[in-house]
């Protein structure tokens, strides 16, 4: 499939995902949308020229939609297709650690999303993700703490316009405290971006 077609379809999918708050959908609701998109002339209708009909849903699910969250972070194969994006990672570092801390260049990685931050003298591991990734964040931070003299920071991120879960937040704070790990809860706003950016 030509690259320009992949970009065209992925951009259309990401716009649709934003319109329906993809992050908040259940697995069943997502399955329903996959079926609709296969039959949609602007998505499946384009893909059938390059893929067998039976592979269209698989391409949508295991291609662009698997990369959706990463694309919102500005990384991954389809990052350029995101119609909206979170603020730069250095903004998140400063929100979590304070204005004297900066992102260490080229340190952003994934699974879970993480980076190194520095205040000019010390470096700290910072990881972040949505509330449902909390277990992964705790495990990653504990792993980083083993070889670091500075305490790793966990940032649980929510999106502007999405429901806030105070009880869940309190539970996460209790778990982090028990593990001896600092934690921050930060709300992030997606901002429109050009598909070419």
Domain ranges of the chain: 3-85, 89-189
CATH fold of the domain at 89-189 = Rossmann fold (3.40.50)
Query: Looking at residue 159, what is its pLDDT?
Result: 84
Confidence check: pLDDT of 181 > 70: yes
Confidence check: pLDDT of 35 > 80: yes
Q: Is the dihedral of CA 164, 167, 173, 179 positive or negative?
A: negative
Query: Looking at residue 153, what is its pLDDT?
Result: 98
* Entry pTM: 0.84
Which burial class, exposed, middle or buried, applies to 114 when counting CB atoms under 10 A from its CB (0-12, 13-18, 19+)?
A: buried
Query: Looking at residue 41, what is its pLDDT?
Result: 96
Query: Looking at residue 195, what is its pLDDT?
Result: 45
Confidence check: pLDDT of 197 > 50: no
Confidence check: pLDDT of 196 > 90: no
Query: Looking at residue 162, what is its pLDDT?
Result: 66
The count of other CB atoms within 10 Å of the CB of residue 122 is 11
Query: Which H or E element spans position 134?
Result: helix 134-146
Confidence check: pLDDT of 10 > 50: yes
Per-residue pLDDT tens over the stretch 73-111: 999 999 999 989 999 999 999 999 999 999 999 999 999
CA atoms of 125 and 132, how far apart (whole Å)? 20
Helices 27-39 & 53-62 angle (0-180, nearest 10): 130
- Per-residue pLDDT band at 182 (split at 50, 70, 90): very high
Confidence check: pLDDT of 163 > 70: no
């Amino acid at each position: 499939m030509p690259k320009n077609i992949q970009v065209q379809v992925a951009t259309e999918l990401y716009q649709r995902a934003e319109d329906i708050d993809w992050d908040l959908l259940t697995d069943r609701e997502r399955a329903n949308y996959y079926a609709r998109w296969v039959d949609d002339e602007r998505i499946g209708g384009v893909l059938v020229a390059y893929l067998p009909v039976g592979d269209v849903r698989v391409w949508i699910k295991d291609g662009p939609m698997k990369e959706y969250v990463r694309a919102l972070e500005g990384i991954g194969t389809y990052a350029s297709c995101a119609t909206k994006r979170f603020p730069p990672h250095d903004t998140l570092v400063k929100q979590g650690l304070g204005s004297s801390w900066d992102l260490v260049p080229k340190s952003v990685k994934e699974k879970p999303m993480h980076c190194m931050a520095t205040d000019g003298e010390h470096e700290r591991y910072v990881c972040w993700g949505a509330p449902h990734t909390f277990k992964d964040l705790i495990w990653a931070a504990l792993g980083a703490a083993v070889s670091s003299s500075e305490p790793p920071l966990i940032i649980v991120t929510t999106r502007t316009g999405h429901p806030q879960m105070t009880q869940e937040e309190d539970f996460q704070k209790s778990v982090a405290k028990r593990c001896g790990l600092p934690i921050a809860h930060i709300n992030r706003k997606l901002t429109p971006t050009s598909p070419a950016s």
